[in-house]
Amino acid sequence: MLPAIEKLVKNLKPKYDDDVIDRLNYAYTSALFVLLILVIGTKQYVGEPLQCWMSPEFKGSWEKYIENYCFVENTYYVSFDDDRLPQENQREGHELHYYQWVSFNSLTINKVP
């Protein structure tokens, strides 16, 4: 083998400088993170992740367009008890901040042993 490849293979072997509890901790923690990320990602990208309020005259492709727009833009919360939407200057105080790519970013950052 080439010396560079031998060195690479040698470095791939695990080095145990921690105890059994540490290895179990990071193994189970990583597995739990991956499981939760998959659940959240599935909820976001399969089915209908959120429902946007829209005028009843929007049908078909317009409804799909508005749902996609709401998914990538910040939305604001309105209680089911309220029968009116907040004024435009008050909507920012009710805004929900979320980021739809969190599950992908978390999955790429997390390393499973």
pLDDT in 10s for each residue of the chain, 113 residues:
577 778 777 777 666 677 888 878 877 888 888 888 888 777 777 766 667 777 888 888 888 888 777 777 777 767 777 777 777 777 777 776 666 667 667 777 765 54
Which is it for the CA torsion 96, 102, 106, 109, positive or negative?
negative
Residue 66 belongs to some domain of the structure: yes
Q: Which domain holds residue 2?
A: 1-47
Q: How far apart are CA 25 and CA 113, in angstroms?
A: 11
Pair 52, 70: CB distance under 8 Å: yes
Residues 3 and 40 in one domain: yes
| 1 contacts: CB under 8 Å, gap ≥ 6 | 9
Looking at the whole model, is its pTM more than 0.75? no
The domain total for the chain is 2
Q: How far apart are CA 113 and CA 12, in angstroms?
A: 12
Residues 42 and 56 in one domain: no
